[in-house]
């Protein structure tokens, strides 16, 4: 048996004989199993619930009786974003941003402007998910199991004993790497088993899953290397523990909490109330279709009359009120889109700042990687919002067109007792409206989005490896 394996074997034997280490390891495994089971059950229950609600909302919309189309515009429609299988592994911002929306005419859902968007990439600390266990808890276990791997040998004089048996510095370090690497693999195994179960689900995409697996592998390898580098550089194991726990606290807890606040302060974002007030103000200035003296709508009216070659709206072959509804929706949607665009741009700048913080915190990098590959990051939420808004606009304009073409202007403006019945269109029209279908990103798009985080983690791993190589050369020297 070669020296590396002998040294690794003895390190593992020490861990097995250390009851605290065994208990800590068992606790981690239990914690991971609970996280996998609860996330899985939660995700399945949510997915079922959303599917049921989506079907019920579609059925309720389609089952509306004969109605005036504009009433349907305000009847609204609930839509739901289906959860991808990887959301069970890393729910990301899903629990905070929500996945259901109420759509109606004249307004965008103000979820687009909710305060929850503030730096929403990384503040989600503390959910018990397999991703959280691997990002935060597993490194702490590795720290407690590995801090003394080399420092203890130096401190007790056994490092020289190893070297005196002919083991080189490199063999000693590689032996410790192998031992702690095995522990890291075992620590990550329950989460990866959960991951494999997810992989068996329909809709799971291979490329993002491989990216996630590679990312967590590199992340845990980084901790293993970093722990041994610190253990080799300090003289006492107590000092190694102190340095590593401080590093863990800063990198995995403190920075991921602070950086979103820093980003929020650097790129301020309007809150929902401010946005609502600003939009209401702009809407007032935009024009009033009911005011015959409103310059925009007066010009619009003239433009319509000219197009159809008539002088009165009563002579139009289509219902002018429907056309006004379409124009009003176009205007308000453009206004909402402008606010949404500004907000998205600010959020992009915030998120870019937080992503850049991955350079000082690999935990931030692995979180961005994990959420991006799982499709549960803010980009995933934004994708849902944008598709929902596109669907809302299309639906409302279809209804406005139905009003313009299916209800005559005379009937629409009549007030006789039978007018209400004449204003209605057949219920079959509702069923003809398309249902909302969320189109998820492709596997390659998700993997591409996760790539920057992966590069940062790999960069950290390379830097840690260089540090360990430097520490290895100094190992056992008189200091």
Instruction: Establish if 14 lies at the interface with another protein (CB under 8 A).
Output: yes
Instruction: Establish if 18 lies at the interface with another protein (CB under 8 A).
Output: yes
Residue 244: CA count within 13 A, CB half-sphere: 31
Q: Which of residues 129-158 bind another protein (CB under 8 A)?
A: 156-158
Instruction: Establish if 479 lies at the interface with another protein (CB under 8 A).
Output: no
Sequence-separated (6 or more) residues with CB below 8 Å from residue 308: 315, 316, 317, 318
**Closest distance to another protein from the beta carbon of 8 (Å):** 12
Instruction: Establish if 197 lies at the interface with another protein (CB under 8 A).
Output: no
Alpha helices (H) in 375-442, listed in sequence order:
378-406, 409-413, 419-422, 428-432
Alpha helices (H) in 137-205, listed in sequence order:
138-146, 148-156, 158-164, 169-199
Helix (H) or strand (E) holding 103: strand 100-103
The answer to whether the CB of 220 falls within 8 A of the CB of 460 is no
Instruction: Establish if 23 lies at the interface with another protein (CB under 8 A).
Output: no
Instruction: Establish if 235 lies at the interface with another protein (CB under 8 A).
Output: no
203 three-class SS: coil
Instruction: Establish if 284 lies at the interface with another protein (CB under 8 A).
Output: no
Long-range contacts of 52-59 (CB under 8 A, 24+ apart): 53/78, 53/80, 53/100, 54/78, 54/79, 54/80, 54/82, 54/436, 58/435
Helix (H) or strand (E) holding 258: helix 255-266
Q: Which segment (2-10, 105-113, 410-418, 420-428) binds another protein by CB under 8 A?
A: 2-10
**Judged by CB, which is closer to another protein: 169, or 321?**
169
Instruction: Establish if 21 lies at the interface with another protein (CB under 8 A).
Output: no
**Closest distance to another protein from the beta carbon of 182 (Å):** 18
The sign of the dihedral angle between the CA atoms of 363, 369, 375, 377 is positive
Which position has the token pair 């259901």?
100
375: left (phi over 0), alpha (psi -120 to 50) or beta: left
Token pair of 92 as six digits: 């990301």
> What is the pattern of x (binds another protein, CB under 8 A) and - over residues 403-442?
----------------------------------------
Instruction: Establish if 444 lies at the interface with another protein (CB under 8 A).
Output: no
**Closest distance to another protein from the beta carbon of 186 (Å):** 20
Instruction: Establish if 167 lies at the interface with another protein (CB under 8 A).
Output: yes
**Judged by CB, which is closer to another protein: 167, or 229?**
167
Instruction: Establish if 19 lies at the interface with another protein (CB under 8 A).
Output: no
Instruction: Establish if 163 lies at the interface with another protein (CB under 8 A).
Output: yes
198 three-class SS: helix
Instruction: Establish if 474 lies at the interface with another protein (CB under 8 A).
Output: no
**Closest distance to another protein from the beta carbon of 2 (Å):** 10
**Judged by CB, which is closer to another protein: 161, or 206?**
161
State the residues that interact with another protein by CB under 8 A. Answer: 1, 3, 6-7, 10, 13-14, 17-18, 156-158, 160-168, 476, 478
């Amino acid at each position: 048996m070669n020296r590396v394996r002998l040294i690794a074997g003895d390190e593992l034997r020490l861990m097995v004989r250390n009851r605290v280490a065994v208990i800590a390891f068992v606790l981690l495994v239990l914690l991971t199993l609970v996280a996998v089971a609860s996330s899985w059950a939660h995700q399945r229950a949510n997915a079922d619930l959303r599917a049921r609600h989506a079907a019920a909302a579609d059925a309720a919309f389609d089952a509306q009786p004969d109605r005036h189309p504009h009433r349907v515009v305000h009847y609204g429609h609930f839509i739901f974003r289906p959860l991808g299988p990887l959301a069970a592994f890393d729910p990301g911002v899903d629990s905070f941003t929500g996945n259901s929306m109420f759509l109606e005419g004249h307004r965008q859902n103000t979820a687009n402007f909710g305060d929850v968007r503030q730096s929403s990439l990384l503040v989600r600390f503390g959910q018990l998910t397999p991703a959280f266990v691997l990002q935060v808890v597993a490194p702490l276990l590795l720290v407690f199991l590995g801090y003394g791997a080399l420092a203890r040998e130096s401190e007790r004089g056994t490092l020289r004993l190893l070297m005196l048996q002919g083991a080189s510095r490199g063999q000693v370090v590689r032996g410790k790497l192998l031992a702690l690497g095995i522990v890291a693999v075992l620590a990550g195994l329950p989460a990866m088993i959960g991951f494999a179960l997810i992989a068996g689900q329909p809709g799971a995409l291979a490329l993002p899953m491989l990216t996630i697996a590679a990312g967590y592998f590199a992340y845990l390898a980084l901790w293993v290397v970093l722990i041994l580098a610190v253990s080799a550089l300090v003289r006492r194991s107590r000092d190694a523990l102190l340095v590593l726990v401080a590093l863990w606290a800063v990198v995995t807890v403190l920075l991921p909490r602070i950086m979103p606040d820093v980003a929020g302060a650097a790129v301020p974002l309007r809150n929902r109330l401010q946005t609502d007030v600003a939009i209401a103000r702009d809407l007032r200035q935009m024009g009033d279709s009911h005011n015959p003296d409103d310059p925009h709508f007066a010009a619009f009216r003239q433009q319509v009359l000219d197009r159809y070659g008539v002088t009165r709206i009563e002579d139009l072959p289509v219902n002018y009120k429907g056309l006004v509804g379409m124009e009003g929706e176009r205007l308000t949607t453009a206004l909402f889109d402008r606010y949404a665009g500004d907000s998205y741009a600010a959020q992009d700048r915030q998120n870019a700042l937080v992503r850049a913080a991955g350079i000082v915190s690999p935990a931030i990098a692995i979180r961005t990687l994990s959420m991006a590959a799982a499709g549960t990051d803010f980009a995933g939420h934004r994708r849902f919002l944008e598709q929902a808004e596109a669907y809302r606009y299309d639906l409302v304009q279809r209804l406005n067109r139905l009003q313009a073409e299916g209800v005559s202007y005379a009937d629409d403006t009549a007030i006789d007792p039978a007018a209400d019945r004449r204003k209605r269109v057949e219920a079959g029209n509702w069923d003809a409206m398309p249902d909302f279908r969320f189109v998820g990103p492709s596997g390659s798009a998700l993997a591409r989005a996760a790539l920057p985080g992966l590069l940062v983690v790999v960069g950290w791993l390379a830097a840690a490896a260089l540090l360990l190589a430097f520490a290895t050369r100094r190992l056992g020297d008189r200091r």
